[in-house]
Amino acid sequence: MDRKKFFKTVGIAGTSLVAMSSTADARTRIVSPDWMGMLTDLSLCIGCRKCEWACNEANKLPNKPIQSFDDPSVFQEERRTHAEQFTVVNRFEVDDRPEPVFVKKQCMHCAEPACASACLVRAFSKTAEGPVLYNKDVCIGCRYCMIACPFLVPTYEYADAFSPEVKKCTMCFERFTQQGEVPACAGICPREAITFGKRSDLLKLAREKIRSHPDRYVDHIYGEHEVGGTNWLYISPVPFEELGFRTDLGETPYPEMTRPFLSAVPLVLSIWPMLLMGSYMFSKKREGEAPSTDLHERVDS
């Protein structure tokens, strides 16, 4: 490759990367009115864990008889999602409250998902319907999505040697788009603690509940603004930080954390060659004036 060709190559690479990062710059901060979502009312949950059973059924995960989910011993330690458990209910004892509070945990289906912006093969997508879905056919298994997720949701099939996948809640996407049914957890909940609906309607419902029962709820809809908004929303009788929720995540969507860096890439690509070639010319010229101090006293060709 001669110099001219080299510059051409750098030019092509540079232009394509500029184009690439400008698409990343176009801020797609759309909170669609059509997005479906879920609202979990923590004041209603009694910790029966039937949602866990229904989730296992719906996703064809290894399951146990529904009666065995009454066993309260699982609450002794806080659990997280796993490859064979897309949702878990944890119990929290809160000061000055006779009853414990139960918290169902699953994918939050972020408006601008960290997992999707982390993925180098676009295995994650935010659907027009709201849920964040994973495509196992392109995933290479780097697990950067799991590093990026602030809610510690995605899990991995570490035991599988040949076709391991990232596993997480899909908000029963196929169930509600194809069969017209509500997500399994919402369908089975005996207390109607989980409501499925349009995110915009759920926000109205949550606000209405908080307004009419200020004694029963703290004035905070978790997921309305957190990390730029999530499609799964929570309302709670006690402050969220007492229930294992991260309330320090901020309202900036995660894709914006890496955006400044990605925008700087075309700058480096276009300015570095200039500086480096300039320096090369300069040193070449200087070398012509002074004799070489080369160790082997080689002559430059």
Partner 1 sequence: MTTISSELDGRKSWVREQIFLGMSFRDYMRSLKTPFNFIALVILCVGLPVTVLRFTQGLETVTNLNDNYPWGLWIGFDVLCGVALAAGGYCLASAVHIFGLKQYRPIVRPAVLTGFLGYFFVVVGLLFDLGRPWRLPYPIVLSFGVTSVMFLVGWHVFLYLTVQFLEFCPAIFEWLRLNKFLRWATRITIGATVFGVILSTLHQSALGAMFLLAPSKLHPLWYSSFIPVFFFVSSMAAGLSMVIFESTLSHRIFSRQISHEDHHKFDGLVVGLGKAAAVVLFTYFCLKWIGVAHGNHWDLVGTPYGRLFLLEMLGFVMLPMLIYIWGVRENSARIVRIAAVWSILGIIFNRLNVSIFAFNWQLADRYVPHWMEITVTITIITVGLLTFRWIVNRMPVLYVHPEYPVTE
Q: Which of residues 120-139 bind partner 1 (CB under 8 A)?
A: 120-123, 138-139
Binding part of the chain for partner 1, among 29-37, 39-47, 210-218, 293-301 by CB under 8 A, reads: 293-301
Q: How far is the CB of 125 from partner 1 (least distance, A)?
A: 11
Q: Interface residues for partner 1 in 15-74 (CB under 8 A)?
A: 20-21, 23-24
Q: Interface residues for partner 1 in 149-188 (CB under 8 A)?
A: 150, 152, 154-164
Q: Which structure tokens are listed for 266? A: 């075309």
Cα–Cα distances in angstroms (integers) from residue 13 to residues 6, 168, 270, in the given order: 11, 36, 10
Of the candidates 181, 204, 176, 206, the one whose C-alpha atom is nearest the C-alpha of residue 193 is: 206
Q: How far is the CB of 296 from partner 1 (least distance, A)?
A: 6
| Location of structure tokens 């369908």 | 187
Q: How far is the CB of 114 from partner 1 (least distance, A)?
A: 6
The site string for partner 1 over 85-114 (x = CB under 8 A, - otherwise) reads -----------------------------x
Dist CA 16 CA 267 (whole Å): 13
Q: Count residues near partner 1 (CB under 8 A).
A: 80
Q: How far is the CB of 48 from partner 1 (least distance, A)?
A: 25
Q: Which of 29, 82, 97, 204 binds partner 1 (CB under 8 A)?
A: 82
Q: How far is the CB of 165 from partner 1 (least distance, A)?
A: 8
Q: Is 221 in the site for partner 1 (CB under 8 A)?
A: no
**How many C-beta neighbours within 10 Å does residue 75 have?**
17
Q: Is 294 in the site for partner 1 (CB under 8 A)?
A: yes
Q: Evaluate whether 196 touches 182 at the Cβ level (below 8 Å).
A: yes
Cα–Cα distances in angstroms (integers) from residue 27 to residues 46, 109, 119, 231, 243, in the given order: 41, 19, 18, 19, 33
Q: Which residues is 134 bridged to in the sheet?
A: 124
Phi/psi class of residue 250: alpha, beta or left (left: φ > 0; alpha: ψ in -120 to 50)? Answer: left
Closer CB to partner 1, 88 or 182, in the complex: 88
Cα–Cα distances in angstroms (integers) from residue 130 to residues 11, 111, 283, in the given order: 39, 8, 58
Dist CA 10 CA 272 (whole Å): 11
Q: Is 276 in the site for partner 1 (CB under 8 A)?
A: yes
Of the candidates 98, 116, 99, the one whose C-alpha atom is nearest the C-alpha of residue 107 is: 116
The site string for partner 1 over 232-271 (x = CB under 8 A, - otherwise) reads --------------x-xxx---xx-xx-xxx--x--xx--
Closer CB to partner 1, 229 or 237, in the complex: 229
